[in-house]
């Protein structure tokens, strides 16, 4: 999903002059590090939109022929360094004109607000004034106050490029009510309440071995059977992880794990003798999910969990998250078989989720 930075101009990109009006080219001074910061943020996948109030633009107090050369110098300089604003939106009115487009009113950004396809959760309004903070709030996105001394461009760029990977997904149907929150960068804050002790224990394996936190509240129609609750938990968990991943920049993408004789082998190859359990996964985002599952469970049920729901759970999760997933477990005690699969999945997921830098791990340019 597309994510935006809506950015104020004066006092945020260009320094605000003493008279608060940039009406000649010699008044154009850039704020420190704005260019490298915007380049980095663009690389992290943000699209940029400039939103500026220019009081009385086009009137006698601020004629266009004094504004335009200075404004073009700002935009052209940014562009020459690789920074592209998708749009530059300007309100030319004075406060007492009572227009609908002066920040923090929403007139200028209305086309963006009508478009529901972009990612509100990871988009921000950046500016130096209270009206900019109010603008973010009115748009339903976060606001970031730019301040040269306490929250300059270098700080903003580094905090936004390592934005927290958290998400919550809620799904209510006639069969189940599920709310799952995930935090992909912090372990140890998990909580499970699915009404099925063994399933809680299994989800805990994914969280613990995946190095993530999962908070799962599941109310299923357990009086019918466990099927819906387990399947839908897989779907919602997959959706939550996908949402938290955002544009997936920097992630390992691939995970593989091969525990043999209580030892995790860190390599996976086709001709290894896979005696215990094998999981290989790829957060590929492909529309058609490759899922293979190879297990012969020694019992039909472990705790309240029907063994046949294990592949069903993982397939639901794989489809929701866009995973290519291959799983294998050898014969043995059914509890151990199931637990080994959840543990191994968690371990493989850990590798795939880990973040280094902000490259997109795909030659196609999208995942």
Q: How many residues bind Zn ion (CB under 5 A)?
A: 5
Number of Cβ within a 10 Å radius of residue 263: 9
Catalytic residue among 8, 23, 132, 276: 8
Find the Cα–Cα–Cα–Cα dihedral 311, 258, 183, 204, rounded to 10°: 60
11 binds, options Mg ion, Zn ion, none, Cβ within 5 to 8 A by partner type: Mg ion
Cα gap 281→286, rounded to integer Å = 12
Choices 42-50, 85-93, 203-211, 287-295 (CB under 5 A): range interacting with Zn ion: 85-93
Q: Is 91 in the site for Zn ion (CB under 5 A)?
A: yes
Cα gap 237→168, rounded to integer Å = 9
- Contact between 182 and 244 (Cβ < 8 Å): yes
The CA-CA-CA angle for residues 254, 263, 300, to 5°, reads 80
Residue of the chain from 10, 23, 231, 339 that contacts Mg ion (CB under 5 A): 10
The CA-CA-CA angle for residues 329, 333, 339, to 5°, reads 60
- Contact between 255 and 351 (Cβ < 8 Å): yes
8 binds, options Zn ion, Mg ion, none, Cβ within 5 to 8 A by partner type: Mg ion
Residue of the chain from 40, 102, 103, 347 that contacts Zn ion (CB under 5 A): 102
Token pair belonging to 138: 């009115």
At its nearest, how many Å lie between Zn ion and the CB of residue 4? 21
Q: How many residues bind Mg ion (CB under 5 A)?
A: 4
Nearer to Mg ion, 86 or 147 (CB): 147
* Contact positions with Mg ion (CB under 5 A) in 89-148: 128
Q: Is 276 in the site for Mg ion (CB under 5 A)?
A: no
319 binds, options Zn ion, Mg ion, none, Cβ within 5 to 8 A by partner type: none
Catalytic residue among 10, 132, 183, 232: 10
Nearer to Zn ion, 99 or 307 (CB): 99
Choices 5-13, 107-115, 194-202, 352-360 (CB under 5 A): range interacting with Mg ion: 5-13
Residue of the chain from 6, 7, 11, 182 that contacts Mg ion (CB under 5 A): 11
- Contact between 240 and 181 (Cβ < 8 Å): yes
- Strands (E) located in 223-276: 254-260, 263-265
Lookup result for tokens 């019918």: 224
At its nearest, how many Å lie between Zn ion and the CB of residue 100? 7
The CA-CA-CA angle for residues 168, 173, 179, to 5°, reads 20
Choices 2-10, 39-47, 111-119, 212-220 (CB under 5 A): range interacting with Mg ion: 2-10
225 is catalytic: no
- Contact between 186 and 256 (Cβ < 8 Å): no
- Contact between 80 and 70 (Cβ < 8 Å): no
270 is catalytic: no
Chain positions contacting Zn ion, by CB under 5 A: 91, 93, 99, 101-102
Chain positions contacting Mg ion, by CB under 5 A: 8, 10-11, 128
Residues classed as catalytic: 8, 10
């Amino acid at each position: 999903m597309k994510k935006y930075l809506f950015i104020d101009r004066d006092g945020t990109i260009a320094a605000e002059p003493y008279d608060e009006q940039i009406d000649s080219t010699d008044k154009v001074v850039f704020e420190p590090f704005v260019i490298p910061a915007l380049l980095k943020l663009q690389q992290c996948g943000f699209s940029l939109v400039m939103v500026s109030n220019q009081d009385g633009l086009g009137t006698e107090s601020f004629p266009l022929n004094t504004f335009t050369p200075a404004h073009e110098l700002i935009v052209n300089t940014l562009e020459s360094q690789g920074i592209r604003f998708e749009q530059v939106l300007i309100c030319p009115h004075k406060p007492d004109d009572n227009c609908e487009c002066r920040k923090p009113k929403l007139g200028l950004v209305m086309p963006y607000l009508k478009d529901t396809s972009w990612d509100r959760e990871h988009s921000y309004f950046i500016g130096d004034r209270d009206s900019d903070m109010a603008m973010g709030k009115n748009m339903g996105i976060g606001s970031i106050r730019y301040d040269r001394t306490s929250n300059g461009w270098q700080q903003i760029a580094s905090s936004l490029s390592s934005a927290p990977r958290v998400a919550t997904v809620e799904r209510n149907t006639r069969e189940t009510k599920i709310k799952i929150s995930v935090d992909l960068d912090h372990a140890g804050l998990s909580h499970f309440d699915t009404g099925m002790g063994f399933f809680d224990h299994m989800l805990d394996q994914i969280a613990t071995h995946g190095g993530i936190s999962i908070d799962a509240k599941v109310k299923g129609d357990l009086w019918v059977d466990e099927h819906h609750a387990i399947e839908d938990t897989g779907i919602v968990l997959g959706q939550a992880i996908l949402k938290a991943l955002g544009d997936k920049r920097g992630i390992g993408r691939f995970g593989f794990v091969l525990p043999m004789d209580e030892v995790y082998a860190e390599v996976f190859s086709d001709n290894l003798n896979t005696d215990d359990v094998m999981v290989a996964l790829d957060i590929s985002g492909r529309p058609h999910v490759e899922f293979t599952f190879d297990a012969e469970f020694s019992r039909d049920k472990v705790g309240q969990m029907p063994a046949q729901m294990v592949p069903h759970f993982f397939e639901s999760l794989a489809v929701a998250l866009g995973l290519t997933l291959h799983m294998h477990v050898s014969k043995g005690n059914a509890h151990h078989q199931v637990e080994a699969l959840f543990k191994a999945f968690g371990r493989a997921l850990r590798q795939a989720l880990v973040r280094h830098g902000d490259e997109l791990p795909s030659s196609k340019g999208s995942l």
